[in-house]
Structure 1
Amino acid sequence: MNQANVKVSFYLKKSEADADGMCPVMAKLNVGKYSEAAFSAKLRVPQSMWNSGRASGKSVKAKEINNRLDEIRAMALGIYTELSAVRDGVTAGDVKGLLLGMAGEQATLLSYFRTFINNFAKRVGVNRTEGSLRSYRNAYNHVERFLAKKYNLLDIPFSALNRSFIDEYDSHLRTECHLAPGTIINLTVHLKTIVGEAVADGIITTYPFAGYEPVHPKQKKKYLTSEELQRIMITPLHKPHLYLTRDMFLFSCYTGIPYSDMRNLSKEHLSLADDGTWWIKSSRKKTGIEFEIPLLDLPLRLIEKYRDTAPDGKLFPMYCNSMMNIYLKDIARLCNINCPLVFHAARHTYATEITLGHGVPLETVSKMLGHSRIETTQLYAKVTDDKINADTRVLNERIAEQFSVVI
């Protein structure tokens, strides 16, 4: 539907004239033949000055009134154009709602997104990370480019967001940006967060993501099996930087501590319990949640191996994460491990092979990993087939001992 089907007219509400003959000016908006809405223009005009929907005469007052009426008409038409660019069935009520203040500074998507990012930036270093901030900025840039390319718009009212818009955005990321499914999930999750904040603020009442489910990437094994772990431990590497990388990776495999937290470990994080067990006690850089991990023999030997080799009292002399990942791929080739090995795989290995695979309860693993919700731990902890088979055999033996049946 084009603007020719949209009409904005003005009339006086004479029934509410005051003692001086001043009447409220009302606006009537028609979209097509059947959609109509009326609202106050927030002006009062003398009946004697009104003629055919405008203030008559050439006085300064008449010019001011007519300029304001022209502004309201232009705003209504502009809002209709933006709404109809992204969805069908725009009603006069939709336009009225935005015109009466719902499309203020924070009621358009990108404007609200910018405010969210600015507030998020203030919390970096307190309870948010620089990496998360970069991720939100990247998501903003993708939405901005989508609006410009698909609809030729600089911004869009929240009320224009519907399931069709979400599906178009998903398709744009998939077919035009050629992004991987995992990347698309991250971008749409960030947009979901912004829309969810707007719903919580009362800006919109309909959740446009209802029923939307992005295509999930095919799950890949993110942990090492015990046999692969053994290969890394015994295969000659011949180069000092590969041995250091291997040792740092193994420490993470046997403690579950991720790279960002591991590089900050220092002597003050070591604690000796009354029973002689050494613990690492620290808090996650990402979330601030505390974690406590009893140290197995291998991590203890690695701490001793690198004692006093790192500056500022740190436990380990670590390369940057990107270099670690490059070296880990070299190690994977040498050890005939057929997967793109990255440092974070160590944390998955700890959850799956080292702890759950040896009967440590999920609740205990969750606490040691520093998770606030056990659901997060379940994403890391993929129970292996060997563990399932072993548990099933134990269950079968217990049942056989307790029950017998004559067949």
Structure 2
Amino acid sequence: MKRSTFRILFYINRNKQKKDGKSPILGRITVDGMHTQFSLQEYIEPELWSAQDNCAIGKNKACKELNLKLEKYRQDLKYHYNKQVEDNAYVTAESLKNTLLGIGTHEVMLLKEFEAHNKEFFQSIGITKVKSTYKSYNTAYNTLRNFIRYKYDMDDIAFNQLSYTFIEEFDFYMRVTLGYKTNTRHGRIRMLKYIVMRAIKKEVIRNNPFADYHVKSSEGERRWLSKEELDLIMQTPIKRIAVNYVRNLFVFAAFTGLAFIDLQTLKWSEIFTDKRGMRWIRKKRSKTGTECIIPLLDIPLQIIKYYKGSAKDGRVFDIGSYSLVLLYMQELRELLNMKTLCFHQSRHTYATTVCLSNGVPIETLCIMMGHRNISTTQIYSKITKNRINEDMQLLEKSIDRKYSLPEQMQHISSVNNNK
């Protein structure tokens, strides 16, 4: 970036002399040809001022003290200029004057902005936001607050003090001190980066101190279920009514791709029948507000038929809190002797095992999942490729030594190897 030009000039206004004959001293700051003036609240006799040297030429104590003040103004302005260039990559004559005079220069603090964001988020719950995400932001806020106290012994930190080192140390703190797993750390970091981007949009800061820090999600454990695992969930007899109900909700989500909050709020008015008699779900996702259009296959149709009339307020299902569902999911996982099982796996399973693995085009899946951008849907395409690799490895093991080339072919191969 081209560095801006910067000048500071001191002069006196000879046209506005006081009764004692002294003239006011003014300062002029010029940045890239644009200038602004300010008063130093100092006065001097015109004959004791040098317009060429921009300073007092008298030898008395008052003139010497004045020149020291002028030099301090120069040094302060140079410091503020360099700092604004470094912090914001942008500086104006007006911003320098305001900083010098202390006008509107209070530092905006990271945690204070984070807290303000969370309060705004809370007010949107049930409209465009969901409570679970609000809880995640609160947890991220608490982790960040504890880190700032631990590392810097401070209650908060200004945006203009943030640097690349800050986010590296935050990641290290979570990884080593707290022992967080990769996905947990990266979730916290993404939220921190969002707060910084929010501050940039509000013009609190102009530079992104974390611009070069790229979060790479680890692949971690597989998040979708295979056909065999889905069959196991569907076919296993379950005596306990509550666990059986949650199992059926999971299966419904695995054949519709609905997230938990969207399943919880699903209403009969969001289910319609087209001219061919095909039934569909048309619903706006709670998380993003985007519309998803989902065909109802035979299995989810059977489930909603079975539970019809069990819920109130026009809802399709009577679903309790997520924490209660988690308990029943844990019981279901233990009953099925599965290593991992969480409700959101149903959505991943719909995208991969149910749709992509059965030839549904990714563009169609994007609409059914309610994704804003097809790049989000393409993540599932990558997962499906990983699954193909896993299946091919299993295939290679299963057919090992079951097939062999004819002896003649083996002979040709050995001859070629001995050349």
Q: What is the TM-score when the length of structure 2 is the normalising length?
A: 0.70
Between the aligned partners of 2:366 and 2:242, the Cα distance in structure 1 is: 32
Residue equivalent to 1:359: 359
Residue equivalent to 1:43: 40
Residue equivalent to 1:194: 195
Q: Do the aligned partners of 2:257 and 2:346 also contact (CA within 8 Å) in 1?
A: yes
**What aligned pairs does 1:262-277 form with structure 2 within 5 A after superposition?**
262-277=263-278
Between the aligned partners of 1:44 and 1:386, the Cα distance in structure 2 is: 75
1:292 maps to amino acid: I
Q: Do the aligned partners of 1:357 and 1:387 also contact (CA within 8 Å) in 2?
A: no
Unpaired runs of 5+ in structure 2?
1-7, 18-22, 30-35, 46-60, 88-94, 393-419
Between the aligned partners of 2:212 and 2:227, the Cα distance in structure 1 is: 40
After superposition, the Cα gap between the structure-2 partners of 1:147 and 1:331, relative to the gap in structure 1 and judged at 3 Å, is closer
Question: How far does residue 277 in structure 1 lie from its aligned partner after superposition?
Answer: 1.0
Please, which moves more after superposition, 343-352 or 322-331? 322-331
Residue equivalent to 1:162: 163
Between the aligned partners of 2:169 and 2:97, the Cα distance in structure 1 is: 25
Percent identical: 30
Between the aligned partners of 2:322 and 2:138, the Cα distance in structure 1 is: 22
1:361 maps to amino acid: P
Unpaired runs of 5+ in structure 1?
1-10, 28-38, 56-65, 88-94, 391-407
The number of residue pairs the alignment matches comes to: 340
- What SS does the corresponding residue of 2:250 show, helix, strand or coil? helix
Residue equivalent to 1:22: 24
Residue equivalent to 2:136: 135
Residue equivalent to 1:309: 310
Question: How far does residue 203 in structure 1 lie from its aligned partner after superposition?
Answer: 4.1
Residue equivalent to 1:223: 224
After superposition, the Cα gap between the structure-2 partners of 1:114 and 1:385, relative to the gap in structure 1 and judged at 3 Å, is closer
Question: How far does residue 181 in structure 1 lie from its aligned partner after superposition?
Answer: 1.9
1:377 maps to amino acid: T
2:291 maps to amino acid: E
Q: Does 1:378 find its partner at 2:375?
A: no
**What aligned pairs does 1:62-211 form with structure 2 within 5 A after superposition?**
99-100=99-100, 104-105=105-106, 107-211=108-212
- What SS does the corresponding residue of 2:300 show, helix, strand or coil? helix
Q: For the aligned residues, what is the CA RMSD?
A: 3.8
Residue equivalent to 1:283: 284
Q: Do the aligned partners of 1:17 and 1:23 also contact (CA within 8 Å) in 2?
A: no
Between structure 1 and structure 2, the one with the greater Rg is: 2
Question: How far does residue 190 in structure 1 lie from its aligned partner after superposition?
Answer: 1.5
Q: Do the aligned partners of 2:11 and 2:27 also contact (CA within 8 Å) in 1?
A: no
After superposition, the Cα gap between the structure-2 partners of 1:352 and 1:209, relative to the gap in structure 1 and judged at 3 Å, is same
2:373 maps to amino acid: R
- What SS does the corresponding residue of 2:281 show, helix, strand or coil? strand
- Runs of 4+ that moved beyond 6 A: 95-98
Residue equivalent to 1:343: 343
Question: How far does residue 16 in structure 1 lie from its aligned partner after superposition?
Answer: 5.5
Residue equivalent to 1:13: 10
- What SS does the corresponding residue of 1:43 show, helix, strand or coil? strand
Question: How far does residue 14 in structure 1 lie from its aligned partner after superposition?
Answer: 4.5
Residue equivalent to 1:92: none
- What SS does the corresponding residue of 1:383 show, helix, strand or coil? helix
